[in-house]
């Protein structure tokens, strides 16, 4: 009987959502806004970066690397020599933006082992520009490797320029990191922001739309009408939360597709893990929406309360400023901030390929926060509607 | 099942000393009355009288501060779930889903009660037949009268044992109002007890009994005719060319007890309860003619329920909606 009623309620909810133009707009415009924000991050785009070629192999394949990079139009070979020292000189004098180092035996190794090392050295003075350069260069090199039926693993080196305070001695690579497992939050602004933007997206859908949806029934008087029926509270709440949970998940999927295929943001970890975490997180986000609906009398109030609350949560989440840069007390509050946990988890899984056990603490925190929030909200809901 | 046995031995609705306040406002103060089996009971009162508050208490949406009420023998506070599945409620404001069609609304409310339009068909037929041609139209796009009929169908489709209608005719045109009351009359014949509230005093005559409520207090409970018969003073209907000025002049008349517009006439009641009616009429005619009114008609009438309400409320006409 309960389930039967739930089914009818769900049918009604989906009918209403599908007919609500503004709501549908929000559901599909949100990912587009995300897209625009991302597009903005790419305005650092480097038109054509100057490239220093150090070809120690002199093979057709090594020349191929330089040709492909140049053919993209994004890189212009301006200088070349076999000397790493001269290349370093050029980058530190800001005559070039990157150095491509093709080691001796490149072609031979590809033919024999189907893999060969390749080094890209970037001027990381402008982090965002370097990130964009790196994304393109990697894509082109990977593409070329694919054509050769080989695996080229480029290693990335960032060089700080002379202008930087702690400038290293000339000729010394500052960092040398394998591409796999390479992660530098300051370097790729866009990659860094994407998981956060996805979190904002599902939070908006989850919290705001839940609050608005229930308050709308309150405003219309239909909530009173529903209360004089045998529908019990839990069935009603389930019927409200399930559709919005579904739409939040759909939006998350759209967001991920856009991030991955339009902006080539890496998705290194498991998507199953991402969706599993989102499921847990959304229970809390929807719970907050439910709670807001008990205190707000009008949709306007609901919107105001939601935005105020989310603003605080977002600012304290480490989305815009790294958590370790916050005052100590603020760092503590992030422990009970679901957005902070979810952002950290998304970054770890998407950008670093973290696995379940790496993010277990975040999952546990999310589960705890969500169950507390939901039970408080349900209690409050019961109390409010006598 | 025991509930049912208890219910059948009692009046379908009993209200005993119910009070409720909202901070400073006393919305209901010691309200008591009962609705008998098969009775169409009207709760008549001006805006803010406390009608909606009482309905919300009886439909378990609100808890009284003191007093008790039973619906179908069930306590409104303790047995709320039993009550919720057995009553029909039509709130004062249109409370259906404007974005769902007529049919979708109706079948939704049927389904949450575990029934269907077809099963409820017998009871809603006289009403639903009228709106069925528009069953695919969005409820929000219906006219006021249609909305009201749909709301009534939704409140009836699960075959409730008592019906609560809060100001069902407010904001509806005169023709639809009359039609609606005809429908209620037909429903009543099926033996369904109905509590209906209204701010239109003329609608009181359509009820078996009425309770007059004002500022949270019940002033009288009786059959409309009996309430009308309580009117204590001589009553005279006056018509003249300038109505506004007429009211003023009548109020200034030394023996006036109360004066209020009634349709296109003015009802005047005289303070001298014992004086012969013919004398009063003659005096009044002389007084008005002397004040320069033309087109004069002055005739004695017997009080209607509306006059009795005016008398009981002792209020200037501004607060009540007299017959149009
Ligand atoms: N939720 C509330 N909070 C505060 N005051 C309220 C509330 N509900 C009703 N009141 C007050 O209680 C009084 C009775 O209101 P109620 O709505 O019951 O009257 P009503 O007879 O239904 O009037 P109307 O014709 O306006 O519907 C009014 O003064 C109203 O302002
Ligand atoms: Mg009311």
Q: What confidence score (pLDDT) does residue A190 get?
A: 64
Whether the CB of B8 is below 8 Å from some CB of chain A: the reply is no
Contact B84 A16 (CB under 8 A): no
Mean pLDDT of the A363-382 span: 92
**Which of B23, B24, B25 for a ligand 1 pocket mutation test, highest count of atoms within 8 Å of Cβ?**
B25
| Overall number of domains in chain A | 2
What ipTM was predicted for this assembly? Answer: 0.82
- Domain span at residue A124 reads 49-161
* Contact residues for B122 (Cβ-Cβ < 8 A; gap 6+): none
**pLDDT of A268 strictly over 80:** yes
Which chain A residue has the Cα nearest residue B104? A12
Asked whether residue A166 is assigned to any structural domain, the reply reads no
| Domains defined for chain B, CATH in brackets | 13-227 (3.40.50.300), 232-302 (3.30.70.2070)
Q: State residue B122's pLDDT score.
A: 87
From A188-202, A282-296, B3-17, the region with the lowest mean pLDDT: B3-17
pLDDT band at B317; cut points 50, 70, 90: very low
User: How many CA atoms within 13 Å lie on the side-chain side of B180?
Assistant: 25
User: For B100, which of A15, A224, A228 is closest by C-beta distance?
Assistant: A15
- pLDDT tens-digit map of B199-213: 888 899 999 999 999
Domain contains A363: yes
- Is the CB of residue B115 less than 8 Å away from at least one CB of chain A? no
Does residue A334 sit in the same domain as residue A311? yes
Q: What is the pLDDT of residues A155-185, one digit of tens each?
A: 655 543 333 333 333 332 222 222 322 333 3
Q: What SS3 state is found at A206?
A: helix
Return the residue of B nearest to A18 by Cα.
Answer: B99
Count Cβ–Cβ pairs < 8 Å, chain A vs chain B: 70
Flag whether pLDDT at A189 surpasses 80: no
pLDDT band at A12 (very low <50, low <70, confident <90, very high): very high
Residues A85 and A154 grouped into a single domain: yes
Q: Is the pLDDT of residue A208 over 70?
A: yes
| Domain match, A218 and A117 both | no
Confidence tier at A342 by pLDDT (50, 70, 90): very high
Residues 6+ apart with CB under 8 A from A206: A244, A245, A248, A282, A285, A286, A288, A289
pLDDT digits (tens, 9 = 90+) for A118-127: 888 877 665 5
Judge whether residue B172 has pLDDT over 90: no
Atom 3 in ligand 1: residue holding the nearest Cα: B22
Both A101 and A31 in a single domain? no
Q: Does B277 touch chain A (CB under 8 A)?
A: no
3-state secondary structure of A310: helix
Distance A114 CA to ligand 2 centre (A): 82
Residue-by-residue DSSP string for A103-133: -TTHHHHHHHHSEEEEEEEEE-SSHHHHHHH
Residues A279 and A257 in one domain: yes
Average pLDDT over residues B97-118: 94
Report chain B's mean pLDDT, rounded to a whole number.
88
A214 and A119 together in one domain:
no
Give the domain-ending residue among A95, A126, A161: A161
**Residues of B with Cβ-Cβ distance to A226 under 8 angstroms:** 112
Three-state DSSP at A267 gives: coil
Specify whether the CB–CB gap between A99 and A113 falls below 8 A.
Answer: no
Which of A161, A196, A225 represents a domain boundary (last residue)? A161
CB contact under 8 A, B95 and A225: yes
The pLDDT-based confidence of A188 (bands split at 50, 70, 90) is low
Q: How confident is the model at residue B91 (pLDDT cuts 50, 70, 90)?
A: very high
CB-CB under 8 Å, A12 with B100: yes
Which of B48, B169, B313 is the best mutation target for the ligand 1 pocket, counting ligand atoms within 8 Å of the beta carbon and taking the most? B48
Residue of A224, A230, A385 with shortest CB distance to B113: A230
Residue A352 and residue A310 share a domain: yes
**Would you state the pLDDT for residue A155?**
61
pLDDT of residue A175: 27
Q: Is the CB of B287 inside 8 Å of chain A's CB atoms? A: no
CA of residue B295 to ligand 1 center, whole Å: 43
How far off is chain B from A18, nearest CA to CA, in Å? Answer: 10
Tell me the mean pLDDT in the region A215-219: 92
- Whether A36 is in a domain gets the answer yes
Q: Do A122 and A35 belong together in one domain?
A: no
CA A308 → CA A31, A114, A312, A313, A339, distances in Å?
Answer: 22, 55, 7, 9, 15
How far apart are the CA of A88 and the centre of ligand 2, in A? 83
A209 and A323 together in one domain: yes
Q: How far is B48 from chain A (nearest CA, A)?
A: 18
Of the partner residues A20, A221, A386, the one whose CB lies closest to the CB of residue B95: A221
Q: In the predicted model, what is the mean pLDDT of residues B251-255?
A: 88
Residues A144 and A214 in one domain: no
CATH code, domain with A97: 3.40.1710.10
Which chain B residues touch A19 with a CB distance below 8 Å?
Answer: 99
Percentage of chain B beyond pLDDT 90 is 55
The verdict on residue A176 lying in a domain is no
Task: Confirm whether A181 is domain-assigned.
Answer: no
- The percentage of residues in chain B with a pLDDT greater than 70, rounded to a whole number, is 94
Question: In this structure, which residues have their CB less than 5 angstroms from ion ligand 2?
Answer: B 51-52, 92
- Measured CA to CA, the distance from residue B125 to residue B108 in angstroms comes to 17
Per-residue pLDDT at A136 exceeds 50: yes
- Mean pLDDT (whole number) for B87-105: 93
Kindly state whether residue A254 falls inside one of the protein's structural domains.
Answer: yes
User: Tens of pLDDT along B34-83?
Assistant: 999 999 999 999 999 999 999 999 999 999 999 999 999 999 999 989 99
Residues of B in contact with A385 (CB under 8 A): 61
Q: Which chain B residue shows the shortest CA-CA distance from A219? A: B95
Determine the residue of B18, B19, B20, B22 to mutate for testing ligand 1's pocket, defined as the one with the most ligand atoms within 8 A of the Cβ atom: B22
Per-residue pLDDT averaged across A288-307, rounded? 92
pLDDT confidence of residue B6: 46
In sequence order, what are the beta bridge partners of B45?
none
Say yes or no for a CB contact (<8 Å) between B62 and A386: yes
- The answer as to whether A284 is a domain residue is yes
- State pTM to two decimals: 0.74
What Rg, from alpha-carbon coordinates, does chain A have?
26
Q: What's the whole-number mean pLDDT along residues A245-257?
A: 89
Choose the final residue of a domain: A161, A179, A212: A161
Q: How, if at all, do strands A115-123 and A98-102 pair?
A: antiparallel
Whether residue A130 has pLDDT greater than 60 = yes
Residue B2: in which H helix or E strand, if any?
A: helix B2-9
User: What is the per-residue pLDDT across A16-60, written as a single tens digit (0 to 9) for each?
Assistant: 988 888 888 888 877 777 666 665 654 444 457 889 999 999 998
CA distance A213 to chain B (A): 13
* Lowest pLDDT segment from A255-269, A278-292, B53-67, B104-118: A255-269
Indicate whether A106 and A27 sit together in one domain.
no
- Average pLDDT of chain A? 80
- Ligand 1 proximal residues by C-beta, below 6 Å: B 22, 25, 27, 45, 47-53, 92, 167, 199
Residue A237 binned pLDDT confidence (cut-offs 50, 70, 90): very high
* pLDDT of res. B56: 95
Question: Do A233 and A152 share a structural domain?
Answer: no
B84: nearest CB among A12, A20, A229: A229
Q: Tell me, yes or no, if A4 comes closer than 8 A to chain B by beta carbon.
A: yes
Report if residue A169 sits inside a domain. no
For B317, counting Cβ atoms within 10 Å of its Cβ (0-12 exposed, 13-18 middle, 19+ buried), the class is middle
Closest residue of chain A to B107, computed from CA coordinates: A8
């Amino acid at each position: 009987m309960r389930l039967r009623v739930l089914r009818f309620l769900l049918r009604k909810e989906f009918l209403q959502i599908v007919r609500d133009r503004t709501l549908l707009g929000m559901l599909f415009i949100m990912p587009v806004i995300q897209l625009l924000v991302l597009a903005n991050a790419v305005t650092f785009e480097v038109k054509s970066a100057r490239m220093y070629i150090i070809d120690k192999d002199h093979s057709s394949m090594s020349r191929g690397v330089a040709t492909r990079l140049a053919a993209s139009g994004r890189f212009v070979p301006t200088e070349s020599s076999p000397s790493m020292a001269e290349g370093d000189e050029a980058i530190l004098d800001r005559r070039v933006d990157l150095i491509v180092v093709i080691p001796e035996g490149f072609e031979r190794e590809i033919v024999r082992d189907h893999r060969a090392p390749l080094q890209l050295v970037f001027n990381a003075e402008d982090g965002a520009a370097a990130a964009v350069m790196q994304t393109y260069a990697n894509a082109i090199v990977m593409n070329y490797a694919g054509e050769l039926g080989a695996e080229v693993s480029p290693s990335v080196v960032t060089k700080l320029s002379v202008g930087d305070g702690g400038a290293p001695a000339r000729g010394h690579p500052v960092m040398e990191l394998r591409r796999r497992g390479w992660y530098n939050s300051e370097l790729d602004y866009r990659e860094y922001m994407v998981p956060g933007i996805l979190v904002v997206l599902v939070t908006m859908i989850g919290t705001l739309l839940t609050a608005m949806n229930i308050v709308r029934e309150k405003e219309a008087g239909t909530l009173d009408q529903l209360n004089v029926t045998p529908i019990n509270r839990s069935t009603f709440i389930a019927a409200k939360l399930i559709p919005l949970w579904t739409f939040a998940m759909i939006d998350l999927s759209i967001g991920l597709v856009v991030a991955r295929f339009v902006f080539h943001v890496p998705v290194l970890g498991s998507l199953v893990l991402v969706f599993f975490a989102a499921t847990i997180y959304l229970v809390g986000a929807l719970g907050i929406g439910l709670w807001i609906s008990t205190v707000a009398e009008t949709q306007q109030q609901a919107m105001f309360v939601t935005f105020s609350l989310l603003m605080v949560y977002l600012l304290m989440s480490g989305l815009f400023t790294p958590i370790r840069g916050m005052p100590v007390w603020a760092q503590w509050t992030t422990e009970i901030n679901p957005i902070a946990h979810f952002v950290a988890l998304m970054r770890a899984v998407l950008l670093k390929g973290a696995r379940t056990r790496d993010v277990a603490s975040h999952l546990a925190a999310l589960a705890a926060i969500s169950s507390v929030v939901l039970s408080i909200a349900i209690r409050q809901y019961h109390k409010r509607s006598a | 099942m025991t509930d049912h046995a208890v219910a059948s031995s009692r009046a379908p609705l009993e209200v005993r000393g119910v009070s409720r306040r909202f901070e400073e406002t006393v919305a209901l103060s010691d309200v008591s009355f009962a609705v008998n089996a098969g009775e169409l009971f009207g709760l008549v009162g001006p805006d803010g009288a406390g009608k909606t508050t009482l309905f919300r208490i009886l439909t378990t949406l609100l808890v009284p501060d003191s007093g008790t009420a039973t619906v179908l023998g069930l306590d409104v506070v303790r047995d709320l779930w039993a009550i919720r599945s057995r009553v029909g409620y039509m709130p004062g404001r249109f409370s259906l889903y404007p974005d769902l069609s007529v049919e979708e609304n109706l079948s939704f409310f049927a389904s949450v009660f575990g029934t269907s339009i077809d099963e409820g068909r017998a009871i809603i037929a006289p009403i639903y037949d009228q709106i069925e041609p528009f069953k695919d139209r969005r409820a929000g796009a219906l006219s006021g009268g249609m909305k009201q009929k749909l709301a009534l169908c939704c409140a009836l489709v699960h075959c409730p044992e008592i019906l609560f209608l809060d100001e069902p005719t407010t904001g509806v045109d005169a023709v639809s109002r009359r039609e609606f009351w005809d429908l209620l009359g037909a429903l009543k014949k099926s033996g369904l007890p109905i509590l209906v509230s209204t701010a239109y005093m003329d609608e009181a005559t359509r009820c078996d009994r009425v309770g007059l409520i004002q500022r949270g207090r019940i002033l009288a409970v009786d059959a409309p005719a009996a309430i009308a018969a309580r009117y204590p003073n001589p009553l005279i209907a006056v018509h003249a060319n300038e109505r506004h000025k007429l009211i003023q002049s009548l109020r200034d008349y030394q023996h006036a007890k109360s004066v209020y517009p009634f349709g296109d006439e003015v009802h005047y009641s005289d303070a001298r309860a014992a004086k012969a009616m013919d004398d009063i009429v003659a005096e009044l005619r002389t007084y008005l003619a002397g004040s320069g009114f033309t087109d004069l008609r002055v005739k004695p009438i017997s009080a209607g329920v509306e006059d009795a309400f005016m008398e009981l409320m002792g209020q200037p006409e501004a607060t009540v909606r007299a017959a149009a």
